[in-house]
Structure 1
Amino acid sequence: MSLFALLDINNTLVNIPLGDGYAMSWIEAFGTVFGLLCIWFASQEKTINYLFGLLNVTLFAVIFFQIQLYGLLLLQLFFFCANIYGWYAWTRPNAQGETLEVRWLSKQKLIATAAVSVISITWLTIYIDAFFFSLASFTVDGLNLLGTNLASPVLEPDAFPFWDATMTVLSVVAQVLMTRKYVENWILWVVINVISVGIYATQGVYAMSAQYAILMFIAANGTREWARSAKRNDDKTLTQTAAA
């Protein structure tokens, strides 16, 4: 099978007997597996998660290009850059030769993060259709400069503006927090996945709903594992401070 055939969203790997039936393509299957591996290794604080993250967002960008969801395509570009930065941040030693450690947000950073999230969700809920149409148009115009000759996208109004805005904003915030190894990123991923399970099940996309249910449990485990790591790091810092 050629690479182009593997990347074709219409090349079905398996028909899943859920709802009215769901034809999962090869590219979606690989993208999903890479996404699950990314989240699992991240929950174990393994830097290799970023390799699988880059593969995941690249394949999903190809999918969104093919099904003409250009706003989501542009969002994958953000996640691609965030994965590269996260890989760098997790492996770059500081002046003392130490790499980034898992910890909780300080009270000031937590308040600031919450305030920015609430404001962003409120703004995006109100302007979500105009925002994503602008993103889609911007992406199409950029791709057309490369000679793709795409037609202008026609988007339907968002079915769940508040929940969609919440998932979008919290996904960006959670990804940023993960690159800095803050425990709170996993709490946000749990919230995002709970919402995703409900939204996709309501829309009848049961395979996606099942996938996010798995991600929800991985994120819950990530919260537990990172909370333990943060406590160990705090104890180590207190011990070093007392010894000094």
Structure 2
Amino acid sequence: MSIVSFFDIGNTMVHIPIGGGYDMSWIEAIGTIFGLLCIWFASQEKTINYLFGLINVSLFAVIFFQIQLYGLLLLQLFFFCANVYGWYAWTRPTNDEGDTLQVRWMSKDKLLITVILSALGIALMTAYIDPFFLMLATIVVDFLNLFGSQIPAPQLAPDAFPFWDSCMTVLSVVAQILMTRKYVENWVLWVVINVISVGIYAAQGVYALSIEYAILLVIAANGAREWMITAKRNKEASC
């Protein structure tokens, strides 16, 4: 298999006999594996999770480019930058003694601000999700066309689940940011996101993705448990 064919979503690795059947490509399978490794190592507070995360979002950016989901492509670019920053933040000393970020809970003030901004973001995106993603898609297309891609103007169908889709999008961004700062609350959000994802993908008949997010849900729940224990231990050690 050549490098070019590996990145082709039409290059099927395995046919999954779920629902009406699903052909999983090599790039999707490998990207998914790296995504699972990223989440697992993050739950164990291992910095290497960011390496796997960078590979995961890069491969999925290629997938979304091929299936013309340019809004999701732009979201992968955000996750790429967040992974780079997270890697830096987790390894950078926070004081002269060389200590690094500690797993901890957010302060009440930060939590309140995060809840308010998240709710506002979800409300605005729910109201404007179709023109918003069309705008994002157009930005990406125009940018790629500057390099001679010759991609036609995107034509996006109306969102099937605007509220739930907005919840997943906004909360994913917030959870990723909180993870870079080692706040326990990021795992609580990932649990919520994965529960919604399992339901949405099952409702859409994409059972393979529903199963994948069920696995991510278990990992996120374990991450929440592990980080809660670590945050309690860190708090006791600082007293």
Q: Deviations over 1:157-186 (max 9, x none)?
A: 000000000000000000000000000000
Among all aligned residue pairs of Structure 1 and Structure 2, give the percentage whose two residues are the same amino acid.
71
Tell me if 1:58 matches 2:58.
yes
Would you say 1:159 and 2:129 are equivalent positions?
Answer: no
| TM-score, length of structure 1 as denominator length | 0.97
Superposed CA offset, 1:168-215 (max 9, x none): 000000000000000000000000000000000000000000000000
2 CA distance for matches of 1:2 and 1:126? 44
| Count of residues in correspondence between the two structures | 238
1:15 is aligned with what amino acid?
Answer: H
Partner SS for 1:14: strand
Q: 1:94: how far off?
A: 1.7
Match of 1:48 in 2: 48
Cα distance per residue 1:109-164 (max 9 Å; x no partner)? 00000000000000000000000000000000000001101000110000000000
Name the counterpart of 1:101: 102
Aligned to 2:137: 136
**Structure 2: gaps spanning 5 or more residues:** none
- Root-mean-square deviation (Å): 0.4
**Counterpart code for 1:201:** A
Partner of 1:17: 17
Give distance in 2, aligned partners of 1:237 and 1:177: 21
Rounded to whole Å, the distance in 2 between the matches of 1:115 and 1:3 is: 46
Name the residue aligned to 1:83: 83
Work out the CA distance in 2 between the residues paired with 1:9 and 1:181.
Answer: 34
Tell me which residue corresponds to 1:38: 38
TM-score by length of 2: 0.99
Partner of 2:203: 202
Cα distance between partner residues in 1 of 2:13 and 2:77? 26
Give unpaired runs (5+ residues) of structure 1: 239-244
Tell me which residue corresponds to 2:151.
150
Return structure 1 stretches of 4+ with deviation > 6 angstroms: none
1:145-224 equivalence runs, <5 A: 145-224=146-225
**1:217 partner SS:** helix
Take 2:90 and 2:2, find their aligned partners in 1: how far apart are those partners? Answer: 35
SS in 1 for 2:23: strand
CA offset at residue 60 of structure 1?
0.1
User: Is 1:112 equivalent to 2:113 in the alignment?
Assistant: yes
